[in-house]
Chain A
Amino acid sequence: MIAAHKRWDFAFGVLGMLALMVGVLTFAALFVEMIINGAPRLSWDFFSQFPSRKPDQAGILSAWVGSTLVMLVTAATAVPLGVGAGVYLEEYAPRNWMTDLIEINVTNLAGVPSIVYGLLALGLFVYGFGLGQSILTAGLTLGLLILPVVIVATREAIRSIPIAIREGAYALGATKWQTTADHILPYSLAGIMTGVIIGMARAIGETAPVITIGALTFIAFLPQAPLTGDPPAGLFDWIMSPFTVMPIQMFNWTSRPEAAFHQNAAAAGLVLVVMTLSMNALAIYIRYRLRKNIKW
Chain B
Amino acid sequence: MFAYIVRRLIATIPVMGIVAIFVFSLLYIAPGDPAAIIAGDLATEQDIARIHHQLGLDEPFLVRFGKWAWGVLHGDLGISIFTNLPVWTLIQQRLEPTVALTVSTLILSILFAVPMGVVAAWRVGTWVDRAVMGFAVLGFSLPAFVLAYLLILVFSVEFDWLPVQGYVSIRDGIVPFLEHLVLPSTALGLIYAALIARITRTSMLEVLSQDYIRTAQAKGLATKDVLVGHALKNAAVPIATIIGIGVALLISGVIVTETVFAIPGIGRLTVDAILRRDYPIIQGIILLFSAAYVIVNLLVDISYTFLDPRVRY
Query: Do A and B make up one complex?
Result: no
Binding site for A on B (CB under 8 A): none
Task: Give A residues with C-beta under 8 Å from B.
Answer: none
